[in-house]
Every structure is written in structure tokens, then in C-alpha cells.
Chains A and B, each alone.
Chain A
């Protein structure tokens, strides 16, 4: 196929990506070195690295970063383990298997905003969750209103809603493992546990890496849940980096500073992904 034809076919994507991906990306990089504010009549001034320096001395940013880190560290292992367990549970053929698969996957096709509204109701002081706890004579925390439980409550929702999606990815990974490896192992007398540790997990490594990287990127950008459920409160304990930079951009119109925060998060995300690839991403053969 001639080059021109290939480009013609690619052009819708390239155009959209350039317009809605590359251009804002480059523009916000530029903005991060200025004091750009859309509501001010005089234009943006170049301020060098001032926005970045300000971020490093901004306690609110560090606290948002801490909350985000807590979120990532708290949810990723749980989500990954739960997704893998679910995938292993619904992989073998049994009656009603697709019902379970669909059921677990369902939360990830529902809008985050809808989920958040539902959970906000569940977590309400007189909500269903506390109704259940009260019936069992257990303590009934204020959940989203209590500075100590608000972020964990949002994290629990995230684990619940994200696991199904990563389960599907793990399922795809499991299906790709050749059956004959298991047959051979059984002939040799390997137990189910041996098969899991020596065949399934090593061969699932690329899938695991994908799940970790994608989920980390997503978790670092957690926003909609916070926006709907707590608006960053109570006592800023649920203010994540993206929520904080959103406030800077759209409540305080400080787009320069917000862009700098976005780039700091971008660099951090990149570094984490690189670390994960280094740690998990060795080829499967090497460990086999």
C-alpha cells in the first residue's frame, strides 16, 4: 500500500490525537513556565521554574501527594490480588460462569460519577452500610465525614469497581497460557499450588506488568470519585494531586501553577512506570 494511503487511513486518529492530545500536552508544558491565568486581561508572563519551585514548597501539594500515594499503595496490591483471584475463580468452565464474569465486570462499565453517587448514599450517616452495621451491633463510623475513614472508604469503592476490569485482562492472560504445560505438570504429579506458582504466575508476568502499570497510572490520576463524594474534605484528607490541581486551575484560575503540578505528576508517573517495568518486566523465560 502506498505511503499516502496509509497516512490517509491514519489521518483521523493523527488529527484527533494532535488536536486533543499533543496540542494541550505541549500547551500545558508551555503554560507551566508562565503565570498564565485565563481571566486576566494582560497576557501570560514567563516565570521560568517559579511554578515548580512553588510546588516543592507548597505544603498543600505535598499533602495531596501523600494522599495520592496512600491511595495507590493501598489499592493497587488489593485490586491486583482480587482481580487475579477472581480471574482464577471464573476461568474454569462451570455452570453460570459467564454470569459471574459479567457480574464482576459490570462495575467498570458504569460511569464513575454514578458509582460515586451510589456509594455516597451507601456511606451516608443513615445510609445502608451503617444500617447493616447497626443491625449487627457494630460501630457506625461517619465514613466520608470522618477524616480518618474518608479516603479508605473511597479506596474500598475503587478496589470493588476496578477489580472486575483487571480480572478480564488476567483472564485473557490465562487463556494465552498453553494447556499442555498444565497437562505435562499433572503427569509429573504437580499439585494445583505447584501449577499456580511455577506455571501460571511466571507466564502471567507480562499481564501482571500491564495491570500494574495501567492501574498505577489510573490511580495516580484519581479525581472524579473525590469530586463527587468529598470535594477533597474532610480536613483535606481526600485531596488528591489531580483534585488539587483542578482546584488551582478552575477555582483559582492559576493555570500556570496547575500545569506545573500536572507535569510533576507526569514525571512521577513516568518514573513509577519505569520502576515497575524494571522490577516486574523481565522476560518470563528468565525466571522459569
Chain B
């Protein structure tokens, strides 16, 4: 071949490879934590809706996914779309590396709960996908054995205390109520529902000051400590195991128990109720709520496509597909409890109703340290190292110091 001919051939090849028909698929990278068999069908549906787009999904593990995300953010090799647990959001929000989606998701605001998880001031840095909360599980068989009405779960603190006491009296390794031992990221989720339900708060509304030392919070901690006499202190997995084995009357736990009970204790007769409130006509059925947020990063290559995929995933039917399969979470969709799925699964629907009175933790940059401080002090009271009043007072001092930090 002569030289000009070779040039022509090369030019022709170049033109052909740019032709629209041969355009390579646009690839969007999505990191998330759920089993592939649940998420992949959703992503295939998205690809059908968006010809020419390919989603490369990577499944992270709950054990090491967080480290992987931190490393990726540090190295600038971020995915386009990423699922982040609410525990990690305050730090990331403070870091300023998340893409601002305020405009892109504004129209979704009335349809979803959980915007608190990804909002700073007026700016929104993500979209809530699925949420999780804690509710009260109770064993109907033990209720009957203790001559309690198993169709009427405890409504108030007094009800809870009485029911637990009656079941505790059964003896033979049966305990009334599960009391959470010191465990990072868990203890606060068990104690704070009582504090919030009693009208207690952690930080002032502008997040600048601690308002933890209040009669409401002292009373809540006193009540929580009192449950030790009618229950057993243990860590989450041990309490869950006792409940599944039918030896624990009442336990505040998460929706992951649904799957576990179905698999390990299908014969267990149990019910689920809202977290009790201080008294009839007083306080609220408060609980802790967290969730999984879909975010993109400023460094991401395909932020617009990431937003489209996020909007697709939070559609009611898609969030429900995930929540129904996982059971440990519920859709962030407002009114999800009226869907056919939750009408057919009334126990799981209690969790969706619990969202209405549940609280999200404050988005303070050092919320993680604040949570640790609260857990520290509550734990010291649980182990009788401090009185409830003293623990609340000391927590206040630590929170006030942390509130000034960035």
C-alpha cells in the first residue's frame, strides 16, 4: 500500500469509529450495599429506559464498604452514584465533596421522607432511598403466660414496665425486657427514643449549643435504667437471639428481625408496636430513624446520569422492591404503608408508621463524636458508675464542647 492510500484508510477508520451507531455505551459507576439479586433487576430496568447507558454496579460489604468509600474519596476515584448510610452523612456533608442536588431533586421533596439526612441549610446533597427505624417487638406467647393481653402491646412507659415485670417473674431464663448494653452506634438508638418521646432534645435548633441536660432527659434515663430490674442487659445480637428463642418478652429492635425470625424461628408468635410514649396524652411514640442516602460527588464524572439513576431508584415501586426483599429497611416514600405490600405485611407496616413520630439525628459535623459521648455517659449509668442525673449533666458538658467544633 502506498503512503496516501494508508492515510485515507486511517482517516476512514477514524470516521467510522465515531459514527453514532458504533458509539460505545456510556458507563455509570454505582456503589451500593444490597445483594446483587435485588438490585440488578432494577438496574437492568434503568438500562432499558436509557439506551446507551450501562450501569456498573459494585456491591460493598457493611464491614468494609465504609473504608472503601473513604479511600475512594481520598484518592478522587469516586463512583458516580453512591449509597451512604446516615451514620456517615454528617461528616461527608461537612467535608464539602458531595454534589449539590438542590435543583435536581426539589420536585421530589413532598413525596419522600428523610431529607434531614442530606440537607444543610437550604442545600440538598442527596436523595433518601430507604429508611430504617426501631420499634417494639413483643412475644405473644410470653404475654399469655404472664396473663397479659397479647392483643394490647404496651402503649405507655408504665405499661412497658408492668408488662416486663410480669414476664420477668416467669423466671426459668425468661426475661421481661431487653436492655441494651454499651455498644457503639446501638445504645443511643435504644435510649434516645425515650428521651425524644419525653420531649428531650440533644442540640439547640441552630446546632450551636447542647440542650441535653433537661428534666425530660433525666427522667428518660431514669426510666431506661429502671428497665434493668425487669429485663436483661446484653448486646444487640444476644438480645435478638433471646427474643428469637422465645426467652425475651419485649425488645426494641430493628426490622432485620423479620427476616431472621422467618428463617430461624418461624413458629414464634410475636407482634410489633410503636415505641411506648411517657403516658397517655403525654409525649410521643418517638424512635430513632436513619437511612440510606444516594449521593454523587463533585469529582464524579457523570453527575447528571447519577441523578437520573437516583431518581429512578427512589420511585415508590423501586424503593419498595428493595425494601420488600431486604425487610430490614422501608421505602422513604411517604404513605408507603398503604401499598399492597404493607397491607399484606402488617407487622412490617408498623415500622413505616413509626417513621411518622421517629426522629433523625442532628447533622452536626461531629455528630459521631456526640453520639459516642452520649453512649459513654449512658453506659456509665448502666454500669452504676454514675447516677442518671450525673450522666446527663456530664453528657451535656461534653456535647457543649463538641458543638463548638467543626
Contact = CB atoms under 8 A, between A and B. Distances in A.
Interface of A: 37-42, 120, 124-126, 142, 144-145, 147, 231-236, 250-253, 255
Contacts of A126: 173, 238, 242, 247
Nearest to A231: B184
Nearest to A145: B181
A236 B375 CA distance: 11
Interface residues of B, number: 35
Given A39-B70, A39-B73, A39-B95, A235 B232 contact: no
Nearest to B71: A38
B375 to A, nearest CB: 9
A233 B237 CA distance: 15
A199 B365 CA distance: 63
B285 to A, nearest CB: 29
B341 interface: no
B96 interface: yes
B98 to A, nearest CB: 9
Contact of B234 (A37, A41, A125, A253): A125
B97 interface: yes
Given A235-B383, A250-B70, A41 B242 contact: no
Contacts of B150: none
Chain A contact residues, majority secondary structure: loop
Interface string B94-106: 1111000000000
A252 B369 CA distance: 8
A49 B241 CA distance: 48
A233 B66 contact: no
24 contacts: A37-B95, A39-B91, A39-B92, A40-B95, A41-B97, A42-B96, A124-B238, A125-B234, A125-B238, A142-B233, A144-B235, A145-B234, A145-B235, A231-B183, A231-B184, A233-B182, A235-B383, A235-B385, A236-B376, A251-B368, A252-B366, A253-B91, A253-B95, A255-B74
A151 to B, nearest CB: 14
B74 to A, nearest CB: 3
B298 interface: yes
B379 interface: yes
Contacts of A144: 235
B380 interface: yes
Nearest to A227: B63
A41 B235 CA distance: 37
A251 B370 CA distance: 12
A38 B73 contact: yes
Interface string B164-193: 000000000100000001111000000000
A233 B183 contact: yes
Interface in B236-250: 237-238, 241-242, 247
B67 interface: yes
A234 B181 contact: yes
Contacts of B73: 38-39
A252 B368 contact: yes
Interface string B62-87: 00001100110110000000000000
A145 B380 contact: no
- Which of B97, B181, B376, B379 has its CB near the most chain A CB atoms (within 10 A)? B181
A37 B369 CA distance: 15
A112 to B, nearest CB: 14
A126 B95 CA distance: 44
Given A235-B380, A235-B385, A251-B368, A41 B298 contact: yes
Contacts of B181: 145, 233-234
A38 B70 contact: yes
A250 B73 CA distance: 12
A128 B67 CA distance: 34
Contacts of A42: 96
